[in-house]
Amino acid sequence: MMYGGWGWGGGLLMALISVVFIAIIIWAIVKITNHHTSTTKQTPFDIAKERYAKGEITKEQFEQIKKDLNQ
């Protein structure tokens, strides 16, 4: 006797939909967190180039940083 008209198939379908929904949420969280961490990985030289381009340090300071980082 089936109650509600779906029987076992309906329960399995709901379980499958729940698993897919949870998987999508986990995938989205991982995607968002990986995006933020990948954009913050800069070398010290990259940071120095950025600061020089913005005018935060002079050419002499940039050249000294380059020399210090190469040693």
pLDDT of 24 higher than 90: yes
Whole-structure pTM value: 0.44
Q: How many domains does the chain have?
A: 2
Average pLDDT, the chain: 85
pLDDT at 39: 59
For residues 48 and 64, the answer to whether their CB atoms sit within 8 Å is: no
pLDDT at 35: 66
Answer yes or no: do 2 and 35 share one domain: yes
The full 3-state SS of the chain, as one line of letters, equals CCCCCCHHHHHHHHHHHHHHHHHHHHHHHHHHHHHHHHHCCCCHHHHHHHHHHHCCCCHHHHHHHHHHHHC
pLDDT at 12: 85
Answer yes or no: do 25 and 51 share one domain: no
Answer yes or no: do 28 and 49 share one domain: no
pLDDT band at 42 (very low <50, low <70, confident <90, very high): confident
For residue 23, give its domain range: 1-40
pLDDT band at 59 (very low <50, low <70, confident <90, very high): very high
Checking phi first, is residue 49 left (phi over 0); if not, alpha (psi -120 to 50) or beta? alpha
